[in-house]
Amino acid sequence: MDKHFAARRRRDLVIAAVLAALAALAPLFIKDVYVQNILILTLMYAALSQSWNILSGYCGQISLGHALYFGIGAYTTELLFTKFGVLPWFGMLAGGVIAAVIAMGLGYPFFRLRGHYFVIATIVIAEIGLLLFQNWEWAGAAMGITIPVRGDSWLKFQFMRSKLPYFYFALVLCSVAWFVTWWLEDSKWGFWWRAVKDNPEAAESLGVVVFNSKMGAAAVSAFLVAIGGAFYAQFLAYIDPESVMGFQFSLLMALPAVLGGIGTLWGPVLGAAILIPMTELTRSYIGGSGRGVDLIVYGALIVAISLALPRGLVSLFSRSKAKGATR
Amino acid sequence: MGLLYGLIAVGLALIFGLMDVTNFAHGEFLMIAMYVSFFLFTFFAIDPLLSAPLVAAAMFVFGAVVYLLVVRFAMRAKANAGMVQIFTTFGLAILMRGLAQFFFTPDYRSIPQSWLGGKTISFAGIFLPEPQLIGALVSILAFAGLYFFIHRTDFGRALEATREDPGAVALVGIDKNRVFAFGWGLGAALVGLAGAIMAVFFYIYPDVGASFALIAYVTVALGGFGSVFGAFAGGIIVGLVEATTALVLPPSLKSVGIYAVYLLVVFIRPRGLFGSM
């Protein structure tokens, strides 16, 4: 561990603390509900993408099925709340634990697969989950679940009058996801994951337990994404299978990390900060025509950024090149 | 139905399987082909069956152009090549869907009267819908043609060699971009055939491709990447599994059977049934 690396890590932590503090003050100046809404979604996707990045970016196991864990988080929370009266806070934790256990259970057969076979398997398993929930009568089937309004309270994590509590929760979630990544980056796990990503055979021969490394990454990643799903369900106060488990979520979680810089600490945050406002703004300002102009702009931008910056937007910052060199 | 999935998958088998380029816009290629077929019918009253070669030719040009304008650069990416391909072609898919909505509106369209639409043939007491039957026939011919093409012609060998080692083929005077542009054109032309036939009996709308794309990926992967015969076998298996699942489970769950079989196959054989990679 050389000095540059340690210095960079300290600097990253300071920058993150300053950014989080600035973000926490933002609502003092931003009163517009529409803008607050965009901020909440941006923070949420930053958190989700950061979690996705742990498995797919650091450990190199590209998953396009994380919508499964997102949906499990949302459904566990709301089923426990509406059917058994369990507070969303416990439901959220339960959802995270269930998602992590499922991720590890799936890991057994899945991590034997390589390349396209793995990616397609992740898409397929999320699609199976979606179809099962669409047909599960007890869980509301395709109609979904409407979360009953019980008045604003932190206890029930439900707020109708103001969006601010959601904003602060999303900020905390995003900070936690970032911090977990930051912490893991320098742990033995972080080094194992990068070794597994770059050359699994070599890592194995040097004593890295490849399989366990992948399992660890999958569990952490799924847990955090499920918490995000639980948050989203409370935020919308209504869920149905397509809106929490659809394939688009798997892509929306991956996109910020890919555009910002896959397998990097700042990539997901940077990607989300640009992508999500852009998505929302194109949707509301030019999407109203119903003629798909928003899709044209969105699609063209994704193509352009993917082609122009294969390492993601973080590669624009000159320092990050030095960072790559010190690894 | 299985052979139709096979027909959609065969173009993907060429692009995804043989050239090893991830193409997430395959469903949108299908959608475009269906629209081309639709407009040829509406404006020039050419029956989809007759226009199929025209659609295939148009799609050939389209596929080659997409490769030369966009995909070529995605393959050149120095970092994260896999992700760049996934998201470039995914962006393309969104772009194509948006363009389709813009120019063709999101309305559902269909070809009301064609030579084959709605007709059935009775064969040994079983009634078979004609369009599907023609689709099956075309599918078998397309697979046989592609198989011959890949294994018996210089181009097929050039294609395989280019995938294996682009540097070495450049030394013997093969232009990688020409080979791959031709491959993409061919893949798009094959999905063009599928689109022309499917336009007869499916609604045509901007998102139509998405519902078939995942099954096409599963079909190719089930058969195994790099194998034309695998994609053909995959198509048949997918069709059979879907029909069987529909007997046991409610129709809304019919795809679950397909997905489960895919998982089962790759857990036992991580390279798919006939895969070489």
Q: Which of A121, A291, A298 is the closest to B266 by Cβ? A: A121
Residue B108, chain A, CB below 8 Å: the answer is: no
CB within 8 Å of chain A, chain B residues 228-257: 250, 252-253, 255-256
CA-based nearest distance A244→chain B, Å = 18
**Best of B67, B72, B87, B215 to mutate (most A CBs within 10 Å, chain A):** B87
Residue B39, chain A, CB below 8 Å: the answer is: no
Q: Rounded distance, CA B236 to CA B230, Å?
A: 10
The confidence score (pLDDT) of residue B6 equals: 78
Q: How many interface pairs between A and B have CB atoms less than 8 angstroms apart?
A: 137
The confidence score (pLDDT) of residue A49 equals: 87
* Predicted confidence band of residue A322 (pLDDT cuts 50, 70, 90): very low
The confidence score (pLDDT) of residue B130 equals: 67
Q: Which of A262-266, B73-77, B86-90, B233-237 has the lowest mean pLDDT?
A: B73-77
> Closest-CA residue in chain B for A304?
B88
Percent of chain B with pLDDT over 70: 87
Q: Which of A124, A262, A301 is the closest to B218 by Cβ? A: A124
Which residues, other chains included, contact A79 with Cβ-Cβ below 8 Å and sequence gap of 6+? Answer: A91, A139, A145
Q: Do A120 and B256 touch (CB under 8 A)?
A: no
Residues of chain B with Cβ-Cβ distance to A249 below 8 Å are none
Q: Rounded distance, CA A230 to CA A92, Å?
A: 6
Most confident of A31-40, B14-23, B32-41: B32-41
- Position A107 pLDDT exceeds 60: yes
Q: Do A120 and B218 touch (CB under 8 A)?
A: yes
The confidence score (pLDDT) of residue B112 equals: 66
> Closest-CA residue in chain B for A132?
B253
> Closest-CA residue in chain B for A307?
B74
Q: Do A120 and B221 touch (CB under 8 A)?
A: yes
**Best of A123, A251, A295 to mutate (most B CBs within 10 Å, chain B):** A295
Residue B69, chain A, CB below 8 Å: the answer is: no
Q: Do A300 and B91 touch (CB under 8 A)?
A: yes
Residue B93, chain A, CB below 8 Å: the answer is: yes
* Predicted confidence band of residue A323 (pLDDT cuts 50, 70, 90): very low
Tell me the mean pLDDT in the region A133-147: 75
Tell me the mean pLDDT in the region A102-118: 83
Q: Rounded distance, CA B55 to CA B52, Å?
A: 5
Q: Rounded distance, CA B215 to CA A120, Å?
A: 10
Residues of chain A with Cβ-Cβ distance to B94 below 8 Å are 295, 298-299, 302
Residue B270, chain A, CB below 8 Å: the answer is: yes
At A127, list the tokens. Answer: 């699609």
The confidence score (pLDDT) of residue A305 equals: 81
CB within 8 Å of chain A, chain B residues 177-216: 206, 214
**Best of B24, B83, B262 to mutate (most A CBs within 10 Å, chain A):** B83
At A158, list the tokens. Answer: 């439900």
Q: Do A292 and B81 touch (CB under 8 A)?
A: no
Q: Do B95 and A303 touch (CB under 8 A)?
A: yes
The confidence score (pLDDT) of residue B128 equals: 59
The confidence score (pLDDT) of residue A320 equals: 47
Tell me the mean pLDDT in the region A100-118: 83
Q: Do A303 and B218 touch (CB under 8 A)?
A: no
Mean of pLDDT over chain B: 78
For the question of an ipTM over 0.90, the answer is no
* Predicted confidence band of residue B51 (pLDDT cuts 50, 70, 90): confident
Half-sphere exposure of B238 (CA within 13 A, CB side): 31
Tell me the mean pLDDT in the region B195-213: 80
- Position A319 pLDDT exceeds 60: no
CB atoms closer than 10 angstroms to residue B76? 11
Residue B118, chain A, CB below 8 Å: the answer is: no
Q: Which of B83, B98, B221 is the closest to A299 by Cβ? A: B98
Element (H, E) at B126: strand B126-129
Tell me the mean pLDDT in the region B191-204: 81
Burial pattern A294-308, b for ≥16 Cβ within 10 A else e, equals: bbbbbbbbbbebbbe
> Closest-CA residue in chain B for A121?
B263
Q: Do B225 and A290 touch (CB under 8 A)?
A: no
Tell me the pLDDT tens digit for each residue of B96-130: 888 888 887 777 777 666 655 555 555 555 555 66
Q: Which of B96, B101, B255 is the closest to A131 by Cβ? A: B255
pTM of the complete model: 0.83
Q: Do B88 and A62 touch (CB under 8 A)?
A: no
- Position B17 pLDDT exceeds 80: no
Tell me the mean pLDDT in the region A71-97: 81
Q: Do B255 and A123 touch (CB under 8 A)?
A: no
Which residues, other chains included, contact A14 with Cβ-Cβ below 8 Å and sequence gap of 6+? Answer: none
Q: Do B88 and A306 touch (CB under 8 A)?
A: yes
CB atoms closer than 10 angstroms to residue A14? 10
Beta bridge partner(s), residue A238: A146
* Predicted confidence band of residue A325 (pLDDT cuts 50, 70, 90): very low
- Position B94 pLDDT exceeds 80: yes
